[in-house]
Amino acid sequence: MKRDGYGDVGRWIAFCLGRMIEQKWIRFEPVSSKRCLAVGLVGSVVVYFMLETMWPPMISLLGAHWGTFAANMVVFLFILSVWPLVLKAVQKNEHEQRQPDEHRRRK
Domain hosting 52: range is 3-102
Q: Are 88 and 26 in contact (CB under 8 A)?
A: yes
What whole-number distance in Å separates Cα of residue 63 and Cα of residue 97?
48
Question: Do 28 and 88 contact (CB within 8 A), yes or no?
Answer: yes
User: pLDDT per position in the chain (107 positions), as tens?
Assistant: 666 789 899 999 999 999 999 999 999 888 888 888 899 899 999 999 999 998 899 999 999 899 999 999 999 999 999 999 999 998 888 878 877 655 555 55
Any domain includes 107:
no
User: Which residues lie below 8 Å from residue 85, measured CB to CB, with a gap of 6+?
Assistant: 26, 28
Identify whether 17 is part of a domain: yes
Residue-level pLDDT at 104: 55
Q: Count of domains in the chain?
A: 1
> Strands (DSSP E) along 18-104, which ranges?
none
